[in-house]
Amino acid sequence: MVLSGEGGDEIFGGYRRYRAAMRPRWLGGKAMRSRGNFDYVPILRNHPTNWRDGLEAAEVRATRPGRSRLMVAQEIDVGNWLPNDLLLKIDRALMAHAVEGRTPFLDSGVVAAAFLLPDALKVNKGLGKWLLRRWLEKNCPAAQPFAPKKGFTVPIGQWIGNQGARLGPLVAAQPGIIEIAEPAKVIALFRSSNGQRKGLAAWILLFYALWHRTHVLGLPPAGDVFETLI
């Protein structure tokens, strides 16, 4: 059995995007995920304009009298980001090794109490999770609770960049990719994908190519990723 911290950022305001969502528009505030990755990397044949419809609907549902901008952003993440991303990944990772996991931050009582905390106990002096940081400062200062937040980002840009010259043509030649993107732009993207945005865009295309091959074309994997895409 392992304890995991999923939910801590969502219910105590730990993400930088929350601080942007809290500010008025005229002070640089913006809605969460206001732009998609392919807005920055324009390689699709037909750029979708409705990709954010689900988020906009969630924003409308979460916006109620008496709720702050931060509370609206938190509810959106708890209802969408957590179950469709973080909790899905941790469940797969744990079950792949027959390990049980628990997420104490997502206990219903903890969530209900934390959600109603004043914004200043969640985000303060430019830092999220303020209440947790103050508790750690008192009870476990060795944890350095006021150190800058560090994520657990996988270096996909570096991996894609190192293999881009080999991967790019393979991905660009896949039927699912040819349908949605221009092959020459896909190859160029993979060759210059060391940056975070380009690396993520290449990663998305790679996995869409694999997904399309398996679930649309009905073809089984044929070895590693390179052998499968040949």
Of 196, 188, 182, the C-alpha closest to 164 is 188
- Taking only the tens place, the pLDDT of each residue in 133-162 is 999 999 999 999 998 877 777 777 788 888
Q: What is the pLDDT of residue 28?
A: 64
CB atoms within 10 A of CB 35: 10
Residue 7's pLDDT is 93
**What is the model's pLDDT at position 107?**
94
How confident is the model at residue 94, as a pLDDT?
93
pLDDT score recorded for residue 39:
84
Q: Which two tokens stand for residue 44?
A: 């699709």
Residues 183, 173 contacting (CB under 8 angstroms): yes
Average pLDDT along the chain: 89
| Domain boundaries defined on the chain | 2-143, 156-229
**Mean pLDDT per 10-residue interval, the chain, length 230 residues:** 92 90 74 80 85 85 90 92 92 93 93 93 92 94 88 78 90 94 92 80 93 94 89
Q: What pLDDT was estimated at residue 26?
A: 67
In 3D, which of 158, 155, 130 has the Cα closest to residue 145?
130
Residues 31, 36, 39, 44, CA torsion sign: negative
Distance (Å, whole) CA 229 – CA 87: 29
